[in-house]
Protein backbone atom coordinates (compact mmCIF):
# COMPACT_ATOMS: atom_id res chain seq x y z
CA UNK A 1 0.00 0.00 0.00
CA UNK A 2 1.63 3.25 -1.09
CA UNK A 3 0.75 6.00 1.34
CA UNK A 4 3.57 8.37 0.40
CA UNK A 5 1.25 11.37 0.38
CA UNK A 6 0.42 11.00 4.07
CA UNK A 7 3.77 11.37 5.90
CA UNK A 8 2.90 9.25 8.94
CA UNK A 9 4.80 8.12 12.01
CA UNK A 10 4.63 4.49 13.23
CA UNK A 11 3.67 5.16 16.86
CA UNK A 12 0.68 7.18 15.64
CA UNK A 13 -0.89 4.21 13.88
CA UNK A 14 -3.59 1.76 15.09
CA UNK A 15 -5.96 -0.86 13.75
CA UNK A 16 -9.49 -1.55 15.03
CA UNK A 17 -13.10 -1.77 13.83
CA UNK A 18 -14.33 1.82 13.90
CA UNK A 19 -17.58 1.42 11.93
CA UNK A 20 -18.94 -1.80 13.46
CA UNK A 21 -18.81 -3.85 10.26
CA UNK A 22 -16.57 -6.52 11.86
CA UNK A 23 -13.67 -5.55 9.60
CA UNK A 24 -10.43 -3.98 10.77
CA UNK A 25 -9.77 -0.39 9.74
CA UNK A 26 -6.56 1.65 9.91
CA UNK A 27 -6.05 5.02 11.59
CA UNK A 28 -2.83 6.97 11.29
CA UNK A 29 -1.62 10.52 11.78
CA UNK A 30 0.01 12.64 9.08
CA UNK A 31 2.58 14.88 10.69
CA UNK A 32 2.84 17.14 7.65
CA UNK A 33 -0.92 17.69 7.31
CA UNK A 34 -1.69 17.55 11.09
CA UNK A 35 -4.54 15.22 10.19
CA UNK A 36 -5.84 11.81 11.23
CA UNK A 37 -6.82 9.47 8.40
CA UNK A 38 -9.17 6.52 8.85
CA UNK A 39 -9.02 3.94 6.05
CA UNK A 40 -11.95 1.51 5.99
CA UNK A 41 -11.04 -2.17 5.65
CA UNK A 42 -12.94 -4.34 3.18
CA UNK A 43 -12.26 -7.56 5.10
CA UNK A 44 -9.89 -8.90 2.45
CA UNK A 45 -6.72 -7.06 3.45
CA UNK A 46 -7.45 -4.00 1.33
CA UNK A 47 -8.58 -0.54 2.39
CA UNK A 48 -10.91 1.86 0.64
CA UNK A 49 -12.74 5.06 1.54
CA UNK A 50 -11.01 7.39 3.96
CA UNK A 51 -12.31 9.65 6.71
CA UNK A 52 -10.28 12.80 7.32
CA UNK A 53 -10.08 14.21 10.84
CA UNK A 54 -8.23 17.56 11.06
CA UNK A 55 -6.10 17.89 14.20
CA UNK A 56 -4.83 21.49 14.04
CA UNK A 57 -5.92 22.01 17.65
CA UNK A 58 -3.76 19.08 18.80
CA UNK A 59 -0.30 19.88 17.49
CA UNK A 60 2.73 17.59 17.56
CA UNK A 61 0.79 14.38 18.08
CA UNK A 62 3.27 11.56 18.72
CA UNK A 63 1.26 8.47 19.72
CA UNK A 64 -2.17 6.89 19.17
CA UNK A 65 -3.83 3.93 20.85
CA UNK A 66 -7.33 2.50 20.86
CA UNK A 67 -9.84 1.41 23.51
CA UNK A 68 -13.45 1.74 24.63
CA UNK A 69 -13.14 4.54 27.16
CA UNK A 70 -16.86 5.18 27.75
CA UNK A 71 -18.02 1.54 27.72
CA UNK A 72 -20.40 1.93 24.78
CA UNK A 73 -18.87 -0.96 22.79
CA UNK A 74 -17.39 1.44 20.23
CA UNK A 75 -13.72 1.95 19.49
CA UNK A 76 -12.30 5.27 20.72
CA UNK A 77 -8.89 6.83 20.14
CA UNK A 78 -6.42 8.10 22.72
CA UNK A 79 -4.05 10.73 21.35
CA UNK A 80 -0.86 11.91 23.00
CA UNK A 81 1.41 14.86 22.25
CA UNK A 82 4.35 16.21 24.21
CA UNK A 83 1.97 18.37 26.23
CA UNK A 84 -1.53 16.89 26.07
CA UNK A 85 -3.61 13.73 26.38
CA UNK A 86 -6.79 13.56 24.31
CA UNK A 87 -9.71 11.19 23.70
CA UNK A 88 -11.78 10.98 20.52
CA UNK A 89 -14.95 9.01 21.22
CA UNK A 90 -16.05 6.84 18.32
CA UNK A 91 -19.60 7.08 17.02
CA UNK A 92 -19.54 3.53 15.67
CA UNK A 93 -19.84 4.63 12.04
CA UNK A 94 -16.27 5.71 11.32
CA UNK A 95 -16.74 9.21 12.67
CA UNK A 96 -15.78 10.68 16.04
CA UNK A 97 -17.14 13.17 18.53
CA UNK A 98 -15.43 16.26 19.88
CA UNK A 99 -11.87 15.95 21.16
CA UNK A 100 -11.54 15.94 24.96
CA UNK A 101 -8.09 16.94 26.23
CA UNK A 102 -6.14 17.40 29.42
CA UNK A 103 -2.65 18.75 29.96
CA UNK A 104 0.28 16.45 30.59
CA UNK A 105 2.70 17.18 33.38
CA UNK A 106 6.27 17.85 32.26
CA UNK A 107 7.31 14.52 33.85
CA UNK A 108 5.12 12.65 31.36
CA UNK A 109 6.56 13.56 27.96
CA UNK A 110 5.62 10.42 25.97
CA UNK A 111 7.82 7.88 24.24
CA UNK A 112 5.37 4.96 24.30
CA UNK A 113 1.82 4.42 25.56
CA UNK A 114 -0.43 1.49 26.40
CA UNK A 115 -4.08 1.10 27.37
CA UNK A 116 -5.15 -1.41 30.04
CA UNK A 117 -7.21 -1.98 33.20
CA UNK A 118 -4.86 -1.33 36.12
CA UNK A 119 -7.34 -0.92 38.99
CA UNK A 120 -10.14 -3.30 37.97
CA UNK A 121 -12.91 -0.68 38.05
CA UNK A 122 -14.15 -1.43 34.50
CA UNK A 123 -12.68 1.85 33.23
CA UNK A 124 -9.70 1.85 30.92
CA UNK A 125 -6.47 3.40 32.17
CA UNK A 126 -3.44 4.73 30.28
CA UNK A 127 0.27 4.26 30.95
CA UNK A 128 2.74 6.66 29.33
CA UNK A 129 6.42 5.83 29.16
CA UNK A 130 8.72 8.86 29.35
CA UNK A 131 12.18 8.31 27.87
CA UNK A 132 13.56 11.71 28.82
CA UNK A 133 12.16 11.69 32.36
CA UNK A 134 13.01 8.05 33.13
CA UNK A 135 9.58 7.09 34.43
CA UNK A 136 6.11 5.70 33.77
CA UNK A 137 3.04 7.90 34.24
CA UNK A 138 -0.21 6.02 34.94
CA UNK A 139 -3.51 7.83 34.37
CA UNK A 140 -6.55 6.10 35.87
CA UNK A 141 -9.87 6.41 34.09
CA UNK A 142 -12.48 8.22 36.21
CA UNK A 143 -15.41 8.18 33.81
CA UNK A 144 -17.08 11.31 32.43
CA UNK A 145 -14.22 11.72 29.94
CA UNK A 146 -11.70 12.33 32.72
CA UNK A 147 -8.49 10.76 33.97
CA UNK A 148 -6.70 11.08 37.27
CA UNK A 149 -3.54 13.04 37.81
CA UNK A 150 -0.60 10.78 36.98
CA UNK A 151 0.90 8.25 39.34
CA UNK A 152 4.62 8.38 38.54
CA UNK A 153 6.92 5.35 38.81
CA UNK A 154 10.68 5.85 38.20
CA UNK A 155 12.56 3.49 35.90
CA UNK A 156 16.00 4.48 37.24
CA UNK A 157 18.42 7.35 36.79
CA UNK A 158 19.34 7.82 33.13
CA UNK A 159 17.70 4.47 32.27
CA UNK A 160 16.03 5.93 29.14
CA UNK A 161 13.13 3.45 28.78
CA UNK A 162 11.92 2.94 25.19
CA UNK A 163 9.03 0.46 25.23
CA UNK A 164 6.46 -0.98 27.62
CA UNK A 165 4.13 -3.97 27.72
CA UNK A 166 1.60 -5.30 30.21
CA UNK A 167 1.00 -8.83 31.46
CA UNK A 168 0.47 -10.66 34.74
CA UNK A 169 4.05 -11.71 35.36
CA UNK A 170 3.60 -13.03 38.92
CA UNK A 171 0.18 -14.71 38.38
CA UNK A 172 -1.63 -12.76 41.11
CA UNK A 173 -4.48 -11.64 38.87
CA UNK A 174 -3.21 -8.04 38.59
CA UNK A 175 -1.64 -6.51 35.50
CA UNK A 176 2.05 -5.65 35.72
CA UNK A 177 4.19 -3.44 33.48
CA UNK A 178 7.50 -4.37 31.88
CA UNK A 179 9.80 -1.77 30.30
CA UNK A 180 13.04 -2.01 28.38
CA UNK A 181 15.54 0.43 29.85
CA UNK A 182 17.64 1.22 26.81
CA UNK A 183 20.57 2.99 28.44
CA UNK A 184 20.62 0.65 31.45
CA UNK A 185 20.35 -2.29 29.01
CA UNK A 186 17.88 -4.26 31.13
CA UNK A 187 14.19 -5.06 31.58
CA UNK A 188 12.33 -3.56 34.50
CA UNK A 189 9.12 -5.07 35.87
CA UNK A 190 6.61 -3.11 37.94
CA UNK A 191 4.34 -5.50 39.85
CA UNK A 192 0.78 -4.20 39.91
CA UNK A 193 -1.12 -3.96 43.19
CA UNK A 194 -4.53 -4.08 41.49
CA UNK A 195 -5.46 -0.54 42.56
CA UNK A 196 -3.56 1.42 39.92
CA UNK A 197 -0.31 1.55 41.87
CA UNK A 198 2.82 -0.54 41.40
CA UNK A 199 5.70 -1.84 43.46
CA UNK A 200 9.19 -0.47 43.00
CA UNK A 201 10.77 -1.71 39.76
CA UNK A 202 12.62 -5.02 39.71
CA UNK A 203 15.39 -5.05 37.11
CA UNK A 204 16.30 -8.27 35.35
CA UNK A 205 19.29 -9.29 33.27
CA UNK A 206 21.52 -7.25 31.08
CA UNK A 207 20.41 -7.73 27.48
CA UNK A 208 22.40 -9.21 24.69
CA UNK A 209 23.01 -6.42 22.21
CA UNK A 210 23.64 -2.72 22.69
CA UNK A 211 20.39 -0.96 21.71
CA UNK A 212 17.23 -2.79 22.92
CA UNK A 213 14.11 -1.17 21.52
CA UNK A 214 10.73 -2.86 21.07
CA UNK A 215 9.14 -5.34 23.54
CA UNK A 216 6.54 -8.08 23.06
CA UNK A 217 5.14 -10.73 25.40
CA UNK A 218 4.06 -14.37 25.03
CA UNK A 219 4.48 -17.84 26.51
CA UNK A 220 7.23 -19.38 24.39
CA UNK A 221 8.15 -22.34 26.61
CA UNK A 222 4.69 -23.71 27.47
CA UNK A 223 4.92 -23.13 31.23
CA UNK A 224 1.81 -20.84 31.21
CA UNK A 225 3.89 -17.87 32.43
CA UNK A 226 4.54 -14.83 30.22
CA UNK A 227 7.95 -14.42 28.63
CA UNK A 228 9.40 -11.25 27.11
CA UNK A 229 11.11 -10.74 23.76
CA UNK A 230 13.02 -7.60 22.84
CA UNK A 231 14.27 -6.33 19.51
CA UNK A 232 17.51 -4.48 18.89
CA UNK A 233 18.19 -1.41 16.79
CA UNK A 234 21.95 -1.81 16.60
CA UNK A 235 22.45 -5.58 16.28
CA UNK A 236 20.98 -8.49 14.32
CA UNK A 237 19.59 -10.37 17.30
CA UNK A 238 16.60 -10.63 19.59
CA UNK A 239 16.57 -11.61 23.25
CA UNK A 240 13.97 -13.80 25.00
CA UNK A 241 13.59 -13.60 28.79
CA UNK A 242 11.60 -16.38 30.48
CA UNK A 243 10.53 -17.86 33.83
CA UNK A 244 9.81 -14.69 35.83
CA UNK A 245 9.89 -15.49 39.55
CA UNK A 246 10.75 -13.57 42.71
CA UNK A 247 11.54 -10.38 40.85
CA UNK A 248 13.76 -11.73 38.06
CA UNK A 249 13.58 -13.65 34.80
CA UNK A 250 15.27 -17.01 35.25
CA UNK A 251 16.18 -17.66 31.63
CA UNK A 252 17.76 -15.67 28.82
CA UNK A 253 18.31 -16.64 25.18
CA UNK A 254 19.58 -14.81 22.12
CA UNK A 255 18.68 -15.55 18.52
CA UNK A 256 20.61 -14.09 15.59
CA UNK A 257 18.89 -13.03 12.38
CA UNK A 258 21.83 -13.72 10.09
CA UNK A 259 20.19 -12.27 6.98
CA UNK A 260 19.97 -8.75 8.45
CA UNK A 261 22.06 -6.12 10.22
CA UNK A 262 19.42 -4.82 12.66
CA UNK A 263 16.20 -6.09 14.26
CA UNK A 264 14.30 -2.99 15.45
CA UNK A 265 10.78 -4.44 15.80
CA UNK A 266 9.13 -7.64 17.07
CA UNK A 267 5.57 -8.96 17.29
CA UNK A 268 4.09 -12.24 18.53
CA UNK A 269 1.55 -14.62 17.01
CA UNK A 270 0.95 -18.20 15.86
CA UNK A 271 1.86 -17.81 12.20
CA UNK A 272 1.93 -21.48 11.18
CA UNK A 273 -1.18 -22.53 13.11
CA UNK A 274 0.50 -25.26 15.15
CA UNK A 275 -0.70 -23.97 18.52
CA UNK A 276 2.71 -22.56 19.51
CA UNK A 277 3.64 -18.89 19.59
CA UNK A 278 6.09 -17.58 17.02
CA UNK A 279 8.05 -14.32 16.89
CA UNK A 280 7.96 -12.00 13.87
CA UNK A 281 11.04 -9.81 13.52
CA UNK A 282 11.13 -6.63 11.46
CA UNK A 283 14.63 -6.18 10.03
CA UNK A 284 16.69 -3.51 8.32
CA UNK A 285 19.86 -3.95 6.34
CA UNK A 286 17.98 -5.26 4.39
CA UNK A 287 14.36 -4.32 5.04
CA UNK A 288 12.11 -7.34 5.60
CA UNK A 289 10.50 -9.76 8.03
CA UNK A 290 11.85 -12.98 9.52
CA UNK A 291 9.88 -15.34 11.74
CA UNK A 292 11.14 -17.52 14.57
CA UNK A 293 8.80 -20.51 14.40
CA UNK A 294 8.28 -21.75 17.95
CA UNK A 295 8.00 -25.35 19.13
CA UNK A 296 6.48 -24.34 22.47
CA UNK A 297 9.60 -25.36 24.41
CA UNK A 298 11.85 -22.28 23.93
CA UNK A 299 13.24 -23.68 20.67
CA UNK A 300 12.76 -21.89 17.36
CA UNK A 301 13.52 -22.26 13.67
CA UNK A 302 14.28 -19.05 11.78
CA UNK A 303 12.64 -18.36 8.44
CA UNK A 304 12.69 -15.34 6.12
CA UNK A 305 9.17 -14.64 4.91
CA UNK A 306 9.40 -11.17 3.36
CA UNK A 307 12.40 -9.56 1.70
CA UNK A 308 11.29 -7.14 -1.03
CA UNK A 309 13.73 -5.69 -3.52
CA UNK A 310 13.58 -2.17 -2.20
CA UNK A 311 15.73 0.49 -0.63
CA UNK A 312 16.51 -0.07 3.04
CA UNK A 313 13.93 1.53 5.28
CA UNK A 314 12.77 1.79 8.85
CA UNK A 315 10.30 -0.88 9.91
CA UNK A 316 7.65 -1.31 12.57
CA UNK A 317 5.44 -4.42 12.65
CA UNK A 318 2.21 -5.51 14.33
CA UNK A 319 -0.11 -8.53 14.19
CA UNK A 320 -3.84 -8.46 13.33
CA UNK A 321 -6.38 -10.52 11.37
CA UNK A 322 -7.11 -8.27 8.41
CA UNK A 323 -9.19 -10.65 6.28
CA UNK A 324 -11.31 -12.35 8.95
CA UNK A 325 -10.04 -15.90 8.43
CA UNK A 326 -8.88 -16.24 12.10
CA UNK A 327 -5.23 -16.44 10.96
CA UNK A 328 -2.82 -13.84 12.25
CA UNK A 329 -1.50 -11.47 9.59
CA UNK A 330 1.42 -9.05 9.79
CA UNK A 331 1.44 -5.35 8.97
CA UNK A 332 4.80 -3.70 8.28
CA UNK A 333 5.07 0.08 8.38
CA UNK A 334 7.90 2.24 7.08
CA UNK A 335 8.06 5.87 8.20
CA UNK A 336 10.77 6.92 5.75
CA UNK A 337 9.03 6.02 2.50
CA UNK A 338 5.55 6.08 4.12
CA UNK A 339 4.56 2.64 2.88
CA UNK A 340 2.50 -0.17 4.39
CA UNK A 341 2.92 -3.86 3.59
CA UNK A 342 0.27 -6.33 4.75
CA UNK A 343 1.17 -10.02 4.73
CA UNK A 344 -1.90 -12.26 4.76
CA UNK A 345 -1.37 -15.56 6.55
CA UNK A 346 -2.38 -18.66 4.61
CA UNK A 347 -1.24 -20.83 7.53
CA UNK A 348 0.64 -23.52 5.65
CA UNK A 349 2.74 -24.95 8.45
CA UNK A 350 6.48 -24.36 8.21
CA UNK A 351 6.62 -23.45 4.52
CA UNK A 352 8.29 -20.42 3.04
CA UNK A 353 4.98 -19.38 1.49
CA UNK A 354 2.95 -19.32 4.70
CA UNK A 355 2.56 -15.56 4.42
CA UNK A 356 1.80 -13.81 1.17
CA UNK A 357 1.86 -10.09 0.56
CA UNK A 358 -1.53 -8.51 0.11
CA UNK A 359 -2.20 -6.41 -2.95
CA UNK A 360 -3.39 -3.73 -0.58
CA UNK A 361 -4.23 -0.44 -2.18
CA UNK A 362 -6.28 2.65 -1.66
CA UNK A 363 -9.48 2.23 -3.59
- In sequence order, the 6+-apart residues with CB closer than 8 A to the CB of 336 are 313, 314
Q: Tell me if 228 sits within 8 A of 218, measured CB to CB.
A: no
- For residues 89 and 91, give the distance between their C-alpha atoms in angstroms, rounded to a whole number: 7
- Does domain 63-357 fall under CATH 2.60.40.1930? My reply is no
- CA dist 172 and 187 (Å) reads 20
User: What is the DSSP code (8-state) at residue 107?
Assistant: G
Contacts of 129 (CB under 8 A, 6+ apart): 110, 111, 112, 113, 114, 136, 161, 162, 163, 164, 179
Closest listed residue to residue 162, CA positions, set 196, 212, 97:
212
- pLDDT interval class at 358 (50, 70, 90): very low
Q: Say what percent of the chain tops pLDDT 90.
A: 69
Encode pLDDT of 262-302 as tens digits. 999 999 999 999 999 999 999 998 889 999 999 999 999 99
Domain boundaries, the chain: 63-357
Q: Is the confidence at residue 219, as pLDDT, over 60?
A: yes
pLDDT tens for each residue of 6-55:
666 777 899 999 999 999 999 999 888 889 999 999 999 999 878 999 98
DSSP letter at 155 equals -
Q: What is the DSSP letter of 182?
A: T
Model confidence, pTM: 0.92
Q: pLDDT at residue 205 above 50?
A: yes
Amino acid sequence: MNTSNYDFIPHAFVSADFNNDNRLDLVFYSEFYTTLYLLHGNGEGNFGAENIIPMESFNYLTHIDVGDFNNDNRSDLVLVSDTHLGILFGNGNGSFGALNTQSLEKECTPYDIIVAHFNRDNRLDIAILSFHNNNICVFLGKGNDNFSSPFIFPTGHNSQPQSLIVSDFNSDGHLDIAVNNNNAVNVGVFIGCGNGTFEVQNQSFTFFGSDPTNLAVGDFDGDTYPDVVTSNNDDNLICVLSRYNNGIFGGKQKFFIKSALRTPSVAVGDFNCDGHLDIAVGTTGPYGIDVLLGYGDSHFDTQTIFRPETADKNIWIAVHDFNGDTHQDIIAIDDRLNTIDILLNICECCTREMLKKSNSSLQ
